[in-house]
Structure 1
């Protein structure tokens, strides 16, 4: 039966490697290698050493030359590693060549991210998305997983998908079963997307505005949602703590309701198949009325994280969305020069700390301004006999004041378009 292997979970000592080919890429490659260390430690794997290596050109067999490959293998053995983790994306054939040369597990950045996602996915939708991405990744790598893949079958019986036909190799059976599982996961994911579309349609009928919280992984998006909505979404100081979208309803200062959705964090070099697999989750960003782009102000790579998020949003078709930029964790920026640089780079950004509550009122106020055209302040004179309309205002609008004059109720309220038309005849000048 086809299974995605769990090799990274058996790893204890890893050597991290990043190969680069252009001297101008040295600084960025070093930053990516540091990020890979965070990703690997998130899996609970011990990192014994990191190697940033320059190669004059790309090679088909090892990505680098055989001499450099021998040096990397020797270093891994010297450290008694049981795994080499590459920040570069390795082709299936390259992964096999490295494992043969090193006689140990070799994985790349994509497999690390896939395994983190597999550990964190909780809802059925997220698990389906992760399973689909992992199976698509594993399919061309089946040949290196087991030693029985070249055995031929002598003919199968029954209608089982696992039965081998005459002369059919085990690897062909496993690939066929893998494709069956991939097709099934795609169908189930499509069903989930239809359910989400139905739920979204119900929200749209109510015309409730919607904002998606986006940003680089570990920027503090879930903590911000918790602070703004009084929610209890998992928020930890780790990469990819949130994989499932969570939506909460809040009330803005002008009385308008707003749906806030927390989304999965972005990361540089996010494998394209993950963007595809997670579109059902990330499309909340595409369909939102506006975005709240959260940045970790304390990170030295804040600009790169900002640009990475914009690149992924552009790929999703949400690059032109209205957005609020929030400099979260601003309380951790104690260097005046660093603060000045951040302010110069993001002059319109809101300063905040989701942990302490700093800047939350300003964020809510700016959300109100972005949606100012969605509501109106209206005065009504409603007969007391129409208590149903007064109840409607209390339920779906923000009551600013209520007075009584004779048999009429004088109501001043912030009213969304969804109900304004039903009360038009009772508008008071």
Structure 2
């Protein structure tokens, strides 16, 4: 794996190569290549050339045919590029073959490696750092025959003893397997700690909403706007890796915990989906999901499909999902917005920047909380302030009035508290 710190001195001018197979729709390879360019720019790598190659079938040794390999090699030389970055995943053998063909002086990597390096540079919490390192090592293990200079720095002085007859490569592979085992053990402990924290939150039965969606769709900006917080919100891919939870108050006074999650992307390495399942578990356990999309993106339909596919893999696609198209203020063609409204009739259209449509989103959140609890009107006697406190902690009270007979309360009682409040329902029923 190419460490991000090493990239600038090693890569100055990249040759980006997309591959269009016979079943790929027209224009998709070019769109993916544009996305790769944005990913690469996130690492400070300059792009010299972008090219899409059509193939009938994949070549086992190079992915491309030998004639095209020689042609690409000549173009790399002519344009003074010092790296070749594929948008398609390369096997370890294909990477070695390309680097050998290019004389061992040109670095050959793929989209997966770029994404892993971005994740590596953005991880902040211990959990995210462990998950990224695990994904990186599992990716790199079959590629140990490539130069791995940074292992020497990781190894330290004499930390690993070489067995008799063991080659340097075998020692490195053994060390990495040992490190992978330790990482998995550490992650298990971190997950147990996260589960304890989640159970503590659930003792205060607040409804929760996870904000999911394609990277750079405006998820963090939405969280900041609704909760009046200051979570990092930058106009770049994967600005947020670690889940952030903030408390929001809906117009009714009902409290809602909202969690910003890592953004999805097409061709997200499967090992990253696995490694970040703990992070994305917030989506699995949420009361409902808010799926944010960039309405101004020409690829918004692909972004929708990508996110839904990942949610399906996490078994979170059956939850209540509010589909939200953000950045409507950036749409220049009115027909584009008309088509989106036609194709997604149940979706909401907002602009976090201007505030347009946020009131409708909050109203929709209030509706979804109905699946978490029941609207109630209560008269609780003065000697049951323990129950009133529980309702307060749950953010369930929207209005409260102290009377001689007791405390008159209107709000949304969590289902787990319904049995306790049932004796104090006015007219013996919940509000219709």
Give me the whole-angstrom Cα distance separating, in 2, the residues matched to 1:5 and 1:216.
25
Q: Which moved more, 1:305-314 or 1:356-365?
A: 356-365
* Contact persistence 2:211–2:219 (CA under 8 A): yes
1:31-61 deviation digits (Å, cap 9, x = unpaired): 1111111111111100111010112321122
Structure 2's unaligned 5+ residue stretches are 152-157, 428-432
1:119-156 deviation digits (Å, cap 9, x = unpaired): 10000010001000011111111111159x9xxxxxxx
Give me the whole-angstrom Cα distance separating, in 2, the residues matched to 1:52 and 1:126.
34
- Report what 1:139 is aligned to: 141
Give me the whole-angstrom Cα distance separating, in 1, the residues matched to 2:345 and 2:94.
46
In structure 1, the residue corresponding to 2:242 is in which secondary structure?
coil
Does residue 404 (structure 1) correspond to residue 403 (structure 2)? The answer is yes
- CA RMSD after TM alignment: 2.2
In structure 2, the residue corresponding to 1:31 is in which secondary structure?
helix
Deviation, 1:383, is: 4.2
Q: 1:383 to 1:110 in 2, by over 3 A?
A: closer
Q: How does 1:236-275 map to 2 (within 5 A)?
A: 236-275=234-273
Deviation, 1:208, is: 1.9
- Report what 1:318 is aligned to: 316
Give me the whole-angstrom Cα distance separating, in 2, the residues matched to 1:91 and 1:334.
42
- Report what 2:413 is aligned to: 415
- Report what 1:58 is aligned to: 58
Q: Select 2:109's aligned residue among 107, 110, 124.
A: 107
In structure 1, the residue corresponding to 2:262 is in which secondary structure?
coil
Give me the whole-angstrom Cα distance separating, in 2, the residues matched to 1:281 and 1:239.
17
Q: Select 1:217's aligned residue among 212, 215, 219.
A: 215
1:106-125 deviation digits (Å, cap 9, x = unpaired): 11000000000011000001
Give me the whole-angstrom Cα distance separating, in 1, the residues matched to 2:338 and 2:311.
27
Q: 1:56 to 1:422 in 2, by over 3 A?
A: closer
In structure 1, the residue corresponding to 2:360 is in which secondary structure?
helix
- Report what 2:73 is aligned to: 73
Q: Which moved more, 1:345-354 or 1:24-33?
A: 24-33
Q: 1:27 to 1:390 in 2, by over 3 A?
A: closer
- TM-score of the pair, normalised by structure 2: 0.90
* Contact persistence 2:378–2:426 (CA under 8 A): yes
Count of matched residue pairs: 416
* Contact persistence 1:216–1:294 (CA under 8 A): yes
1:186-228 deviation digits (Å, cap 9, x = unpaired): 1111111111111112222333222111111111111111111
Structure 1's unaligned 5+ residue stretches are 150-159
- Report what 1:12 is aligned to: 12
- TM-score of the pair, normalised by structure 1: 0.91
In structure 1, the residue corresponding to 2:229 is in which secondary structure?
coil
Give me the whole-angstrom Cα distance separating, in 1, the residues matched to 2:63 and 2:84.
14
- Report what 1:35 is aligned to: 35
Q: Select 1:127's aligned residue among 126, 129, 138.
A: 129
Q: 1:63 to 1:254 in 2, by over 3 A?
A: same
Deviation, 1:72, is: 0.9
Give me the whole-angstrom Cα distance separating, in 1, the residues matched to 2:67 and 2:385.
84
Give me the whole-angstrom Cα distance separating, in 2, the residues matched to 1:56 and 1:415.
60
Give me the whole-angstrom Cα distance separating, in 2, the residues matched to 1:199 and 1:12.
44
- Report what 1:290 is aligned to: 288
In structure 2, the residue corresponding to 1:166 is in which secondary structure?
coil
In structure 1, the residue corresponding to 2:318 is in which secondary structure?
coil
Deviation, 1:171, is: 0.4
* Contact persistence 1:218–1:265 (CA under 8 A): yes
In structure 1, the residue corresponding to 2:58 is in which secondary structure?
coil
Give me the whole-angstrom Cα distance separating, in 2, the residues matched to 1:223 and 1:41.
22
Give me the whole-angstrom Cα distance separating, in 2, the residues matched to 1:289 and 1:202.
16
Give me the whole-angstrom Cα distance separating, in 2, the residues matched to 1:393 and 1:268.
43
